[in-house]
Structure 1
Amino acid sequence: MAKYAIGDLQGCFKPFMQLLDIVDFNPSQDHLYLVGDVLARGPDSQACLEFLCQNQGAISITLGNHDLHFLACALLGKPPNPKDKLDNVFASSKLDKYIALLQAQPLALFLPQLKTFVSHAGIHPDWDIKSALNYAQFAQQCYQSSDAVHYFANMYGAGVVKDVENLNDQDKFKAIVNVFTRMRFLDNNGQLELKHKGPAEISNNLMPWFTHARFQQDDNRYIFGHWAALEGKTNLNNVIALDTGCVWGGPMTLMNLTSGERFSSK
């Protein structure tokens, strides 16, 4: 049984299938971990969703910001952004199935045998793995609850990520979602700076989250997507960026979690 992780699909079905063919992925034996943003902006989000629905026993998804935005639009009855190219998904008779698939997924996973933490945007340096998983579980309970519509309606905005335990449930949910699905840069106080999306340059008192000293001495491995401008480079062996910007013209990247070997679409 092989275990793989793959970067942001964003509706790019053909390179997704190409990578699965390269590694001879067998859904009856292998398992695929998707780091989120499985839909939006690319040409065929519905094909991606359909494949994931048909192979649910062989896949795990850590939700990304585009996945949560899709759920928010669907549950709040809001039209999708035309740039997301999701009209056919929202018009599909299988929309409820796609919603159910994504709403059942977590924000973060830990694979103890591989000492590997997986999420869409990363992990806050102040959060150990146990705390991060607890926060992810709290947020998951929120977006799966009978009050999910309320949480989705108030999900947006910067918010605060320090002292998460002292926040009310809505602000706590927002903070957790921001860390796991939107985080790139942190300021000197460990707060998220959500405007900058470029390369991982340390400037203007901002630092990429993974350059924190904590990760220099951490023997766990952290796998994330979200940050296409990194082009798959973090300069750390234990922090792996898998979003290589397929939807923007770059390759899609898949990694064998046991061997560490990476594969790129053509």
Structure 2
Amino acid sequence: MAHYAVGDLQGCYTPFKQLLAQVDFSPSRDHLYLVGDLVARGPDSLACLEYVYSLQSSVTVTLGNHDLHLLSTVLNNKPANPKDKLDALLSSATLPDYINFLQSQPLCTYLPEFDSFISHAGIHPYWSIEHAIELSNWAQSYYQGPMAADYLSKMYGKNPAIDLPPSDPQLKFNTIVNVFTRMRFLTEHWQLDFDNKGEVNKGELLQPWFTHPRFKTSRTRFIFGHWAALQGKTSLNHVVALDTGCVWGGPMTLLNLSTNEQITSN
């Protein structure tokens, strides 16, 4: 049995299947951990979700910002962004099944057998793994619950503070979503920056979340996607960036969790 983590699919079905063929992936024997953004921008989001849905007992998804945006679009009956190329998916008769499946997936997961933490965008330096799992479970109870459409419709915004006020569940929800699905750079006070997506060198005022001293001494492996501009490089062997920009013409990347070997699509 093998365990694999795979970078952002973003509707790139053919490279995804080619990558799984390269490692002879078998749903009856192996398990996939997808770091999120299964859909949007690529040519075949419907095929990606159809296939992932067929693997349900052999796959775990940590939801990304595009996945949550799909949930919000469908649950709020809003038109999709044409750039996301979701027409075929949104017209599918089995769309409700795919939405239920995505709602059943977490924002992060921890695999003790590999001492590995997986999420779409990373983990905030101030959050322990145990706290992060608790926050993921709390947020999931809202995007699964009866008020899911309302909370998802209000999840957007650019509040930089890491606020988790019990008196304001919407703000708490937004903060959790922002960290797990949108985070890249943090300010000098380790608050969120939403305006920069590119290369790492932004000077002293902005720093990638994984440059916090905590990650230099941690033995845990942190696996994430979301940040294609990194081209899979973080300067830390145990902080693994798996979004290598397949949707923008780069390869798709798979990590063997047992051997730490990385494999890219042809």
- If the TM-score is normalised by the length of the shorter chain, which range does it land in? over 0.9
Alpha carbons 2:4, 2:254 under 8 Å: kept:
yes
Provide the residue aligned with 1:193 in structure 2. 193
**Which is worse superposed, 156-165 or 200-209?**
156-165
Alpha carbons 2:37, 2:64 under 8 Å: kept:
yes
Separation of aligned partners in 1, 2:18 and 2:176: 34
What stretches of structure 1 of length at least 5 have no aligned partner? none
Separation of aligned partners in 2, 1:6 and 1:42: 16
Separation of aligned partners in 1, 2:165 and 2:130: 14
Question: Once superposed, which parts of structure 1, at least 4 consecutive aligned residues long, lie more than 4 Å away?
Answer: none
Provide the residue aligned with 2:83 in structure 1. 83
Match of 1:28, SS state, is coil
1:37-93 CA-partner distances (Å, limit 9, x unpaired): 001000011000000111100000000000000000000000110000000111111
1:216-235 CA-partner distances (Å, limit 9, x unpaired): 00010100000000000001
Q: How far does residue 165 in structure 1 lie from its aligned partner after superposition?
A: 4.2
**5 Å matches for 1:127-142?**
127-142=127-142
Separation of aligned partners in 2, 1:109 and 1:59: 12
Q: TM-score, normalised by structure 1?
A: 0.98
Q: How far does residue 15 in structure 1 lie from its aligned partner after superposition?
A: 0.5
Q: How far does residue 158 in structure 1 lie from its aligned partner after superposition?
A: 1.4
Match of 1:106, SS state, is coil
Match of 1:57, SS state, is helix
Provide the residue aligned with 2:178 in structure 1. 178
**5 Å matches for 1:1-20?**
1-20=1-20
**5 Å matches for 1:37-116?**
37-116=37-116
CA spacing shift, 1:41–1:250, aligned 2, 3 Å: same
Provide the residue aligned with 1:250 in structure 2. 250
1:107-150 CA-partner distances (Å, limit 9, x unpaired): 00000110000000000000010111111111100100111111
Aligned letter for 1:145?
G
Separation of aligned partners in 2, 1:159 and 1:141: 22
Match of 2:113, SS state, is helix
Separation of aligned partners in 2, 1:166 and 1:107: 19
Provide the residue aligned with 1:21 in structure 2. 21
Q: TM-score, normalised by structure 2?
A: 0.98
Separation of aligned partners in 2, 1:48 and 1:30: 18
Separation of aligned partners in 2, 1:162 and 1:71: 24
1:175-214 CA-partner distances (Å, limit 9, x unpaired): 0000000000000121100110001114260100001111
**5 Å matches for 1:135-214?**
135-165=135-165, 168-203=168-203, 205-214=205-214
% identity of equivalent residues: 56
CA spacing shift, 1:41–1:163, aligned 2, 3 Å: closer
Provide the residue aligned with 1:238 in structure 2. 238
Q: For this pair of structures, how many residues does the alignment match?
A: 266
Separation of aligned partners in 1, 2:246 and 2:221: 23
**Which is worse superposed, 194-203 or 222-231?**
194-203
Separation of aligned partners in 1, 2:169 and 2:160: 13
Alpha carbons 2:188, 2:204 under 8 Å: kept:
no
